[in-house]
Amino acid sequence: MRHLNLARAGDRGHPWPIPFSIEPVLALRGQRVVVLVSGDPFWFGAGSTLADALAPGEWRALPAPSTFALAAARMGWRLEDTLCLGLHAAPFDRLRPVLTPGQQIIATLRDGAAPAALADWLVAQGFGNSAVAVLQALGGPREAVVTTTAADLGARSFEAPVAIAIAASGAPGLPATPGLPSDLFASDGQITKPAMRALTLAALAPRAGQCLWDIGAGSGSVSVEWALAAPRATAHALETRADRLENIRENAARFGLDHRITAHHATAPGGLDALPTPDAIFVGGGANDDLLTALWDRLPTGARLVANAVTLETEALLMRWHQAKRGQLLRMDMAEAAPLGRMQGWTPARPQLQWAVTR
């Protein structure tokens, strides 16, 4: 409505629907329509959504300075060294994978109450010492910049449009290497152990924009680490137990990845037909000939299949498939130091066999 009022659109103006949709614009296809969005429509704006739906020549963009450009100019920050995020329509948890001491972040926010809510979230994550600047109505007569720390911002409210600049300080943040501690995940105990998870991620070899099928996902820890490892990487986690399905969704949200991890209450191979073509498939347990055959038939050239086994029967299965399809067969024996009387001794984990192959 703010844009419509500034343009004095009157009865000709129509606000964006909530939840957001471009359907009202598409309904006027063929007519001359002006669409008003903030700053640069192709930086967390509606521009790309409209461009994808319209044919070349049907639209023309007239961008103005973006919120991020204006904010960086006020802060004196190099944009190439600053993460720019759109949190006006996304949860604060999207910050979690990138929140680390020294990181500069500029984020758009949904309304005037959002800066205080985000400051509370930062405090809860151990980043209360972070310097923050709340940037209100940049570039206009109502512009105001309030600089403080996340812990000291309090319940103050601002006027939209509003953004925030964060110079992160506090907790160490998430490590960038695979094999995150298991206590970071919601789990009923059915979770790939950190060391094995790191080896599994190395075999899956995630790349930007690639898609994983996580069969028998358990807690979804492999899906989470896959999505953390590469920009725009997505995962489809299949799980037959409803309680574990909730853990997968909880972990996706907890790590700010609920837009890139989809949990499916399904079995394989029956639940595979509706999934997008995979770049990698992980089978954490429960493999059999029918499943591996179905996965192999769906695996495109260049895609990777990784399967882990802890039982003798599944080990024998993977050995047969390795003999037929080649790839790499790896046996892993690990032990962890644990108290033994007044001293310490090795507590061995169950040996695991891993078969990894590229189609």
Q: Assign residue 295 the CATH number of its domain.
A: 3.40.50.150
Is the torsion defined by CA of 182, 185, 186, 192 positive or negative? negative
Q: What is the mean pLDDT of residues 140-157?
A: 94
Residues in the chain: 359
| pLDDT at site 189 | 81
**Would residue 297 count as lying in a domain?**
yes
DSSP letter string, 8-28: T-GGG--PPPSS--SHHHHTT
Q: What is the mean pLDDT of residues 161-187?
A: 94
Six-digit token string for 289: 């000939």
Task: Give residue 28's domain range.
Answer: 2-53
| pLDDT at site 193 | 86
In a shared domain, residues 297 and 336: yes
Residue 7 above 90 pLDDT?
no
In a shared domain, residues 207 and 343: yes
Looking at mean pLDDT, say which of 7-11, 61-65, 209-213 comes out highest: 209-213
In a shared domain, residues 98 and 246: no
More confident site: 101 or 243: 101
Mean predicted lDDT score pLDDT of the chain: 93
Q: What is the mean pLDDT of residues 262-283?
A: 91
In a shared domain, residues 40 and 78: no
In a shared domain, residues 270 and 236: yes
Q: Is residue 269 reached through a cis peptide bond, with omega within 30 degrees of 0 on the bond before it?
A: yes
Distance of CA 183 to the CA centre of its chain: 19
- Alpha helical stretches, state H, the chain: 2-6, 23-26, 47-53, 67-75, 114-124, 194-204, 221-229, 242-254, 289-298, 312-325
Residue holding tokens 């990777």? 304
Q: What is the mean pLDDT of residues 40-53?
A: 90
Give the model's confidence band at 301: pLDDT under 50 very low, under 70 low, under 90 confident, else very high: very high
Q: How far apart are CA 267 and CA 358, in angstroms?
A: 23
Residue range 324-341, pLDDT digits in tens: 999 999 999 988 899 999
Q: Indicate the DSSP class of residue 350.
A: P
| pLDDT at site 318 | 97
Six-digit token string for 13: 């103006």
| pLDDT at site 10 | 81
**Would residue 173 count as lying in a domain?**
no
**Would residue 60 count as lying in a domain?**
no
Q: Assign residue 114 the CATH number of its domain.
A: 3.30.950.10
40: Cβ contacts below 8 Å, ≥ 6 apart: 47, 63, 64, 65, 66, 69
Residue finishing a domain among 167, 197, 216? 167
| pLDDT at site 232 | 96
Q: How far apart are CA 226 and CA 220, in angstroms?
A: 10
Residue 204 above 90 pLDDT?
yes
Largest CA distance in the chain: 82
In the chain, the number of structural domains is 3
In a shared domain, residues 106 and 193: no
Asked if residues 25 and 31 have their Cβ atoms less than 8 Å apart, the reply is no
Residue 348 Cα distances to 154, 183, 334, 352, angstroms? 50, 20, 6, 11
Q: What is the mean pLDDT of residues 5-13?
A: 76
Residue 280 above 80 pLDDT?
yes
In a shared domain, residues 337 and 212: yes
**Would residue 7 count as lying in a domain?**
yes
| pLDDT at site 20 | 85
Residue range 220-246, pLDDT digits in tens: 999 999 999 999 999 999 998 888 999
**pTM, full prediction:** 0.88
Asked if residues 72 and 51 have their Cβ atoms less than 8 Å apart, the reply is no
DSSP letter string, 310-329: -SHHHHHHHHHHHHHH--EE
Give the model's confidence band at 164: pLDDT under 50 very low, under 70 low, under 90 confident, else very high: very high
